[in-house]
Amino acid sequence: MTLLTALQGDYGDSGDALRVDGRALSREELLGAATAVADRVAGAPGLAVLARPTVETVVAVVGGLLAGVPVVPLPPDSGPKERAHILRDSGAALLAHAAGDAVPADAGIAALPVDPAERSATTYAEPDAAATAFVLYTSGTTGAPKGAVLRRAAVGADLDALAEAWGWTAEDTLAHGLPLFHVHGLVLGVLGALRTGSRLVHTGRPTPSGYAASGGSLFFGVPTVWSRLAADPEAAGQLASARLLVSGSAPLPVPVFEKLAALTGHAPIERYGMTESLITVSTRADGERRPGSVGLPLTGVRTRLVGEDGEPVASDGESVGELQVAGPTLFSGYLNRPDADAEAWTADGWFRTGDVAVIGADGFHRIVGRASVDLIKSGGYRIGAGEVEAALRDHPAVADAAVVGAPDEDLGQAVVAYVIPDGPVTGDQLAAFVAERLSVHKRPRKVVLVPELPRNAMGKVLKKQLLAGSAG
């Protein structure tokens, strides 16, 4: 089976099977333009793509995949140091870009301008399923970004499992406005449409008005996107005709979940994954959609919880442990980083996600957060930051919250909350509010009211920055 099934099969075609920021291509036009790129890159060790939300980005990515050349998406806002590291480490020989884009002078590799009007009729044999599809670079919060090597088979297995879980078919119109250098926006949000045969509308930017006007039946978004939609009842109401709203890349606050459900008539689907594992756990379209939960493992995926002592943690809905996963969607390893590979895998072949989670007796998963910043050890207790954050968001005067464990001489770590207020409230009131709803030892010892929280491009809170501030 080919990776991009809809480019080869009879799925019907229209002039706008693919629409990115108002510019449209039919599947036939996309295949011809991408094949022209494949003709120019075939045999290269890697193809970097300046991944702006454009038709040219999609053409370049598909061209690399047709030619069997590993594709390396380059964040368009990457700074000189990060950009140089990705290009050097990946071994990419060419940097694809839209003709009108300014290519950084310090890129150091040959530029490859992409013209969506160019055509080629060359036929390429399907590359081996074990061949590399992508080298995707992680955020690099602890040093230089690491390149996760993703096989074509892993991408195909994940998209097929998601299509099953979400009832995703060629009858859908997928709509989103997510970045095209991440798993969410690129692998799911572009290749998913090219595998299932669904129409794709990329809105350019993920604005409420863009989503409302897209005509989508299946929507992808991150919590920031859904929060903005929930604050725009008119735009949210336009999504009532949709089939499914999917949220990922960060936990969806329960109040946003509830507002979306009320405004659109659709309780959102939540899912969990990483660059290294793709998507492994999700709520199903035909199953329960439980606020704060990411659902059940996808077909073929296995999960388990492990304690700090290496022993299994019970799936009792209360016990917290590190989430480990196994299955066909996992990456092959980190490029040029055997040391990181050794840390990432267990002796019996499970991937250590570094996330802490709770699994219920019914198999539903709830992600607490990153073990490095979200598992707080305070006074002998193990506290999940996500649980405290959820309690804070239940307060009517809280717009959002992030919780970290700050160094404390007495407790080891103290629970510190950073809160964006949405009305008059004090730190003492919020600490008491949490203590009334959770165990008293989980209450914040310090509450800092802030106008905003630092976030990355996918809406995830940069807790390392908050920790640095609390230490100061």
In a domain, 338, yes or no: no
Q: Which of 245, 258, 260, 250 has its CA nearest to residue 214?
A: 245
Confidence of residue 214 (pLDDT cuts 50, 70, 90): very high
In a domain, 339, yes or no: no
Residue 221 is encoded by which pair of tokens?
Answer: 């978004």
More reliable by pLDDT, 466 or 61: 61
Q: What is the pLDDT of residues 114-162, one digit of tens each?
A: 999 999 999 999 999 999 999 999 865 456 789 999 999 999 999 999 9
Q: What is the pLDDT of residue 141?
A: 46
Q: Which residues are CB-contacts of 79 (< 8 A; sequence separation ≥ 6)?
A: none
Q: How far is residue 206's CA from residue 293's CA, in Å, rounded to a whole number? A: 24
- Indicate the number of domains in the chain: 2
Q: What is the pLDDT of residues 310-344, one digit of tens each?
A: 899 999 988 889 999 999 999 999 999 999 999 99
In a domain, 271, yes or no: no
Q: Which residues are CB-contacts of 471 (< 8 A; sequence separation ≥ 6)?
A: 406, 407
- Over its C-alpha atoms, the chain yields an Rg (Å, rounded) of 22
Q: What is the pLDDT of residue 106?
A: 66
In a domain, 215, yes or no: no
In a domain, 297, yes or no: no
User: For residue 414, what are the domain limits?
Assistant: 379-471
The CA-atom distances, in angstroms, between 430 and each of 43, 85, 165, 375, 381 are: 59, 43, 38, 21, 20
Q: What is the CATH number of the domain that holds 157?
A: 3.40.50.12780
Beta strand residue intervals within 91-172, DSSP E: 94-98, 110-114, 132-137, 147-151
Q: What is the pLDDT of residue 346?
A: 94
Where is the domain boundary, 158, 185, 212?
185
Label the pairing between strands 302-306 and 321-326. antiparallel
Tell me the CB-side half-sphere exposure of residue 181, using CA atoms within 13 A.
22
Q: What is the pLDDT of residues 252-302, one digit of tens each?
A: 888 889 999 999 999 999 999 999 999 999 999 999 999 989 999 999 999
Beta strand residue intervals within 84-139, DSSP E: 94-98, 110-114, 132-137
Neighbours of 309 (CB within 10 A): 6
Q: What is the pLDDT of residue 143?
A: 64
Q: For the chain, what's the residue count?
A: 472
Where is the domain boundary, 153, 185, 217?
185
Contact 268, 245 (CB under 8 A): yes
In a domain, 130, yes or no: yes
Q: What is the CATH number of the domain that holds 401?
A: 3.30.300.30
Contact 283, 273 (CB under 8 A): no
Neighbours of 203 (CB within 10 A): 25
Where is the domain boundary, 138, 167, 185?
185
In a domain, 449, yes or no: yes
Residue 420 identity (one-letter amino acid):
I
Q: What is the pLDDT of residue 9?
A: 64
In a domain, 255, yes or no: no
Q: How far is residue 116's CA from residue 122's CA, in Å, rounded to a whole number? A: 16
Using DSSP's 3-state secondary structure scheme, residue 135 falls into strand
Q: Is the dihedral of CA 346, 350, 353, 355 positive or negative?
A: negative
Q: How far is residue 130's CA from residue 133's CA, in Å, rounded to a whole number? A: 9
| Predicted model pTM | 0.84
| Buried b or exposed e, range 324-361, using 16+ CB within 10 angstroms | bbbbbbbbbbbbebeebeeebbeeeebbbbbbbbbbee
Q: How far is residue 207's CA from residue 395's CA, in Å, rounded to a whole number? A: 27
